[in-house]
Structure formats: C-alpha cells, structure tokens
Amino acid sequence: MGGEDAVGVYGDLFMDPAASKRLAKAMELGRGREVVLGVVEVNDVSRYARVVVESGRVKELVEKPAERGPGLANAGVYYVPGKYLELVEELELSPRGEYEFTDVIVNVIRRGEVVRVFNLGADEWMDVGVPWLVIEVNKLALAKWGGRSVRGEVEGTATVKGPVIVEEGARIRGGSYIEGPAYIGEDADIGPNSYIRPYSVIGRGCRIGFSVEVKESVVFEEAHAAHLAYIGDSVVGEHVNLGAGTILANLRFDERNVKVSIEGKRVDSGRRKLGAIIGGYVKTGVNVSIMPGVKIGSYAIIYPGVRVFRDVPSRATVEHDWL
C-alpha cells in the first residue's frame, strides 16, 4: 500500500456531513502531510480506543482500556497521507484476534510524527454498534434534518401533521394519519387507515396497509405489512413480508428495559420499549406474535399463529411456538 492519501470512516458509524468541513480544515492545518484523527467524548471509554491529547495533538492511543468511565475516544474517522499507508502491511493480530487500524496511528505516534485531532459533538456522531441503535441514529437524523416536504400524493382524507417528508411517488391513502418527524420513501404506499407515529422511517417501495400502526421504527425498502399489523420500536429489514395480524411487541409486563442477545450474552438495550430486529426477506404468517428484543435472522419463515420468545436463526423455518 501507499501512494494516494486516504480518508476512512468506520462502516458502523453515523457522522454529520457538516463535520467533514472541520476534518478538511484540520487537513489544511497539517498541510496534507499529517495524520488527522476524529475524537469524541463518550460515557464509557473502555468500549473504544482512549485518546490522550495535548495541544490539539495525539500523545497516546490505547485500544479498549481496562478502566471504565467517561473520556475522549477515537471516533473512527481518519485522514492518512499516503506515505503512512505502508504501515498497514506491518499490522499484526491484536490480543483480540483482529487487525486494528488504530495500530497504524500508534506506530505513527511512536515515530514521533504529528497526529492532529478534530472534535465531533454528541449530536454529530453515533456508534451504531448494536442493532437497536439503527432506531436511535434515524431519530437523530430526523431531529437534525427532518422538515416538511410533501412531494408524493396525499389523499384528501389523510392527515400529515408536523415535519414529515413524503418523497416523490409515495402515496398516502385516505384515513391515514402521519405524525412527524417521519420519513416516507419513494414509491411507498401507506394506508388506507394506517397510523405512522413520530420518528418512523418507511423506506422506498414499502407497503404499510390497512390498519397498520408503525411506532418509532425503521422499515427498510420493499418491506410489506399489508394489513392489521403493529410494528413497535423495531427494525424491519428489506423485502420482509409481515402477515395479517403480525404483532412486534415492544414492552415487557414488568416495564423493565428490554434485553437483547448479543454474541451469547444478554445485553441491556437501555430502552424500556424495544420490539423486534428482523433481517431481510423474512416472512411471517397471519397472527404471529414476536416478543420484545427478539432477533429474526434473514430469510426465516414463521408459520401462522406462532409466538416467538427467542432469537430465530437465519433461514430457519418455525412451525410451532418458539419458546
């Protein structure tokens, strides 16, 4: 490697495009010859790489330090001049069994070279490292950029209230009620008599049909919930088909935070209300009930009337209650 300069952003991050202007300014200050690292204040720096900064320059970078607590973390945004990219070839497996790009930055610091920082604010950056944060990052985007723009068709008896974006080719059928902030993508078909609640994102070509309620959820492109369904605080993947009467429950009886299984561990989502995380191309039959915090793998099929209490693997076929 080597040659041309590179800008890198971790694939599971949200970064406000406006912050790129500060990145460009930091690059100019270094005259294009110095590494630039994005940093952000976090509540628990042990989940990230801790960054020690003096006078706007990185003094030390420690990947996933043992000590917990607030601190300045590597935001996963880099500008690296081409002359340093050759250091990628020197990377070795970390104690976690991974090749970590932060080691390139550490080696630049060890050479005595300058690594500049640019700061990201809490409303400019989010680490979308767990699936329910797809909901949170879309809430952030809607709060920052959501306005009122109706370019699709809204029938006379439908109500569009507040900052709602209805893209070209979308259709809002009669009796439907949409509360902003919300986003309705191109060629989406809503209603009749659907209820889209605040902070919902409906992707391109989705079908949200008769008496379907969507609450604070992200529904990816070409997903269908044609009738009598409830999608609460959920993430629904592309080309999913939810049969009539499918319920994505979002609240425990004891009203405690919903937990989700992540890599074999039960993780507190921090959300009192959280529904299902459903991968692409899943199909549910009529009257399926999916409990809070359950993950359904891509291409799974859930038979009619089934109650799902635990995660379903990809491509599984569930014929009976999944307890």
Closest among 55, 54, 49 to 71, alpha carbons compared: 49
Average pLDDT over residues 242-246: 98
Of the candidates 224, 227, 239, 320, the residue annotated as catalytic is 227
Q: Is residue 196 over pLDDT 70?
A: yes
Average pLDDT over residues 131-151: 93
Give φ, ψ of 305 to 5 degrees.
Answer: 75, 0
Lowest-confidence pick of 45-54, 95-104, 181-190, 237-246: 95-104
Please give the Cα distance from 291 to 214 (Å, whole number).
Answer: 16
Average pLDDT over residues 127-133: 95
Q: Is residue 83 over pLDDT 90?
A: no
Q: Is residue 1 over pLDDT 70?
A: no
Please give the Cα distance from 91 to 65 (Å, whole number).
Answer: 20
Residue 84 binned pLDDT confidence (cut-offs 50, 70, 90): confident
pTM, entire model = 0.89
The CATH superfamily assigned to 133-318 is: Hexapeptide repeat proteins (2.160.10.10)
Residue 26 binned pLDDT confidence (cut-offs 50, 70, 90): confident
Q: Catalytic residue at 320?
A: no
* In the chain, domain spans: 6-124, 133-318
Q: Is residue 315 over pLDDT 90?
A: yes
SS (H, E, C) 227-239: ECCEEECCEECCC
pLDDT (0 to 100) of residue 103: 86
pLDDT (0 to 100) of residue 91: 81
Q: Is residue 278 over pLDDT 80?
A: yes
Give φ, ψ of 74 to 5 degrees.
Answer: -65, 120
Closest among 84, 87, 71 to 115, alpha carbons compared: 84
- Please give the CATH number for the structural domain made up of 6-124: 3.90.550.10
Helix (H) or strand (E) holding 145, with range, is helix 133-145
Task: State what percent of residues in the chain have pLDDT above 70.
Answer: 99
Residue type, 132: W
